[in-house]
Every structure is written in C-alpha cells, then in structure tokens.
Amino acid sequence: MSEAVEIFEVGPRDGLQNEARTIPAAEKIALVDLLSRAGFRRIEVASFVSPKWVPQMADGAEVLAGLTRAPGVRYAALAPNLRGYQGAVAAGADEVAIFASASEGFSQANLNATIDESLARFVPVIEAARADGVLVRGYVSCVTVCPFDGAVPPGDVARVVAALRDFGCYEVSLGDTIGRGTPEAVDGMLGAVLDEMPAAQLAGHFHDTAGRALENVDVALARGLRVFDAAVGGLGGCPYAPGASGNVATEAVLAHLEAAGFETGLDAEIVAQAGRLAQSMRTG
Ligand code: HMG
Ligand code: MG
C-alpha cells in the first residue's frame, strides 16, 4: 500500500483573504461545501482577526454557521488573540491556529507586535483551548525569507517552533510566506527545526511566488514531512507580506504527490472543480 500524505486545504482562508473584491459569505460557503466532498480531513475556513486588518475575513462566523458539515472533516480558523479564539469557538470552529513569525519585521507588520509579544498573546488562547479541549495548530511565517528583514536564520525559525511546541500545538506549519525560499534554504531550515519537533508534527506551507513550491514540497518529503497546506486554484497571499503571491495550488500538489506514488485520499475531479470555482470567485 502506498504511503499517505495529507493536504490541508487552506483556500477559503489563505486563498481568499487577500482578494480585493468583497466575496459574499454564500460564495465562500459554496466553496467550502464543495471542498468538503473532496476527501480533505481539515479545511481552514475563516480568520477571527481584526476586520480592519483583514476585511475579507470579517464574516467568519457566518461562513462557519452556513457550511454543511461533512463527517470526518475538521473546520479550522485562525485566532490571533483570546478574542479571536472565543469568536472562533463560539462560531463552531473545530480547531484554531495561532500564527507567529520567525522574523521581527513580518511580526510587526502582520500582528503589530514583536515575536515575543505575539507569543505572550497566545498564552491565554492556549490556556482556554486546553480547558475547552480544542486542538491548536501553530504557524510560523517567513521560515526562509522575510519581505522586510531578508534571509531568516534557521535558528530563529527553530526557536519559534520550540515555543509553539511548548504551548502544546499539535502541529506546526512552516510558512514560506513570500515563496522566495530555495530548496537549499528550506532544507537548511528543516535541519534546524527537526531538532525541536518531529517531522510527524510538522507541515509545509509553501507559497509559489518563484515557482519553487513543488521543489520545496519534495525537500520536505525527503525530510519526512507528510502534511502540506495548499489552496485550490492557487489563490492567496498575505496582505501584510508585500510580494506574496498565491499559495501553491492544491491541484498541483495533488498531481505531484500522486505521480510520486503517495496516497492523498482526495477526489481529483472535485478538487479541480473547486479550483475552478475559487478562480471564478477571484474575478467576480
Ligand atoms: P492591534 O491594532 O495591535 O490590536 O492589532 P488592538 O488590540 O488594538 O486591536 C485593534 C482593533 O481590532 C480594535 O478595534 C480591536 O477591538 C479589534 P477598534 O477598537 O480599533 O475598533 N480586534 C479584533 N476584532 C476582531 N477579532 C479579533 C480582534 N482583536 C482585536 N480577534 C491584531 C492586533 C492581532 C488584532 C491585528 O494585528 C490583526 O488582526 N492581525 C491579523 C493579520 C492577519 O490576519 N494576517 C493574515 C493571516 S497570517 C498569514 O496569512 C500567514 C499564514 O498563511 C502562514 C504563512 O503563509 O506564512 C498563516
Ligand atoms: Mg500563507
């Protein structure tokens, strides 16, 4: 039997958050409902962040309330602070994600906080989640290059991964936020990170700005990672990361993994349909 690799679908959140057009909740719900039939086990559908910072994600509660839950699928949401956590859980998110940066420049731009301040803000989130029995995923952004600070030392990434591990994050997703990481840089970064957290608890989150995301997936696979974030239609980018283009497309990762003999459990036809739907949402 072939080995399994999971694609964590982040399109409804990371894919859509940067779109200029205000996308109605009903369209987001239609996308999530289609994705729910594709075989994903986890779909990130919303962010409970300041609507002033990311207006596109202001309707997260509506999206979570309106989607049709599929058995075996966990619906995830970003929570930058306790208020976001409470909003996400009240809206029915099955798990939340906290998100930090390995670089100070991006931390300031994305969270208006230093790395250490952002980590301190996550403590009440972690405590509440533990009390509620809610799983928390962690993200580290700018794991290779920061749009403000340039190349990011692997040790800086490992330090933040260790902090998220100590918080009890069940998995940490490593974000090449602006898609500038080379396979060599990703490999070096993973070398440092794997001293802090095992491959089984790490995910790769590659944006495809420079067209190297699939190569970086291969580097991560060789290092033992078996979870990759991707967005249908290759939509996405972070509003606070100048130069960040789309997430690597789920369709591309799926085809790449299956060609390499991995089992994803996904229905490629439904994924392709969702990709077309996501693309059509971009242009309105
Ligand atoms: P701040 O301005 O420092 O904090 O923002 P604040 O506490 O002064 O709050 C500002 C305003 O937001 C206030 O409203 C708060 O009430 C409100 P006002 O008084 O001005 O009317 N507020 C909230 N509203 C709703 N939900 C909340 C919430 N918290 C405060 N949870 C803050 C700090 C963290 C809130 C802000 O910086 C923020 O929302 N940042 C989020 C940025 C973001 O979502 N970025 C994109 C996601 S990260 C990403 O894409 C990277 C990733 O994909 C991995 C990768 O690719 O690397 C994950
Ligand atoms: Mg991202």
- C-alpha span between 284 and 279 (Å, rounded): 9
Q: Two tokens at 15? A: 């894919």
C-alpha distances out from residue 95 to 77, 156, 206, Å: 7, 26, 21
- Tell me: pLDDT of 1 over 70: no
Please, which pLDDT band fits residue 196 given cuts at 50, 70 and 90? very high
Please report, for residues 117, 163, 191, 194, 268, the alpha-carbon distance to residue 188 in angstroms, rounded to integers and kept in the order given.
27, 19, 5, 10, 32
Q: Which ligand 1 atom sits nearest the alpha carbon of residue 83?
A: 31
Helices 82-90 and 115-132: crossing angle, nearest 10°? 30
What is the distance in A from the centroid of ligand 2 to the CA of 244?
Answer: 9
Find the catalytic residue in 142, 146, 169, 238.
238
CA 18 and chain centroid, separation = 14
Using pLDDT thresholds of 50, 70 and 90, give the confidence band for residue 231: very high
Segment 97-112 shows an average pLDDT of 98
Q: In whole angstroms, give the CA distance from residue 117 to residue 174.
A: 20
**Packing angle of the helix pair 115-132, 104-111 (nearest 10 deg):** 60
User: Phi then psi for 60, rounded to 5 degrees?
Assistant: -55, -40
What average pLDDT does the structure give for the chain?
96
Runs of H (alpha helix) within the chain: 25-35, 60-66, 82-90, 104-111, 115-132, 154-167, 183-193, 213-222, 250-259, 268-283
Q: Which atom of ligand 1 is nearest to the CA of 176?
A: 57
Residue 140 near residue 173 (C-beta atoms within 8 A) = yes
CA 72–ligand 1 middle distance (angstroms):
30
Average pLDDT over residues 134-163: 98
pLDDT band per the 50, 70, 90 thresholds, residue 2: confident
Given a cut of 60, whether residue 284 has pLDDT beyond it is no
pLDDT of residue 236: 85
> What pLDDT, in 10s, does the model give residues 62-73?
999 999 999 999
Cα–Cα distance, 176 to 61 (Å, whole number): 28
Full-model pTM: 0.97
Active site residue 238: yes
d(CA 45, CA 78): 9
Q: List the residue whose alpha carbon is closest to atom 17 of ligand 1.
A: 50
Give the model confidence (pLDDT) of 176-190 as tens digits. 999 999 999 999 999
- Measured from the Cα of 207, ligand 1's closest atom is 56
Task: Give the mean model confidence (pLDDT) for residues 263-283.
Answer: 94
The encoded tokens of residue 277 equal 């739907």
Give the model's pLDDT for residue 43.
98
Taking CA atoms only, the protein residue closest to ligand 1 atom 47 is 238
* Residue 283: predicted pLDDT: 63
For the CA of 79, the closest atom of ligand 1 is 31
- Report how far ligand 2's centroid is from the alpha carbon of 1 (Å): 32
Nearest CA to ligand 1 atom 16: 50
Task: Identify which of 9, 14, 49, 86 to mutate to test ligand 1's pocket (most ligand atoms within 8 A of the CB).
Answer: 49
Residue 90's closest CA among 61, 63, 66, 67? 61
Around Cβ 67, how many Cβ atoms within 10 Å? 24
Confidence of residue 138 (pLDDT cuts 50, 70, 90): very high
Interval 232-240 mean pLDDT: 84
Residue range 119-123: average pLDDT? 98
* Helix or strand run (H / E) with residue 205: strand 202-206
**Sign of torsion over alpha carbons 100, 104, 108, 113:** positive
The answer, yes or no, to whether ipTM is higher than 0.85 is: yes
Ligand 1 atom 34: residue of nearest CA = 111
Nearest residue by C-alpha to atom 25 in ligand 1: 50
Grade residue 282 by pLDDT with cuts at 50, 70 and 90: confident
Q: How far is the CA of 83 from the centre of ligand 1 (A)?
A: 10
Instruction: Report residues whose beta carbon is within 6 angstroms of any ligand 1 atom.
Output: 14, 17, 47-50, 52-54, 78, 80-81, 83-84, 87, 99, 110-112, 139, 141, 175, 177, 205, 207, 238, 240
Distance 173 CA to ligand 1 centre (A): 19
* pLDDT, position 244: 63
Q: What is the mean pLDDT of residues 231-257?
A: 87
